[in-house]
Amino acid sequence: MNGKNLNRNVLLTLLIGVPLCTLTPLLGLPTVWQFILLPIGIVLCLIGTASSMLMLQRKR
């Protein structure tokens, strides 16, 4: 992956994944919505973590 894709993945995680994981339980959404939205947020966070690790390895 090139640097632009990695940066985009990290920004996607920070702007969408993390708030989705933290705000979904706090909003008091029905359980069905939480079971749909939380895995999406978790996957986005994992993608962002992997992208940031790849960025760190590229800088070496």
Mean pLDDT estimate for the chain: 87
Confidence band of 32 (pLDDT split at 50, 70, 90): very high
Residue range 56-60: mean pLDDT, rounded: 82
Residues with Cβ within 8 Å of residue 10, at least 6 apart in sequence = 48, 51, 52, 55
Structure tokens at 5: 């894709």
pLDDT at 12 exceeding the cut of 90: no
The predicted pLDDT at position 6 comes to 82
The predicted pLDDT at position 58 comes to 84
Exposed e or buried b per residue across 8-43, where buried means at least 16 C-beta atoms within 10 angstroms of its C-beta: ebbeebeeebeebbeebeeeeeeeeeeeebeeebee
The predicted pLDDT at position 1 comes to 65
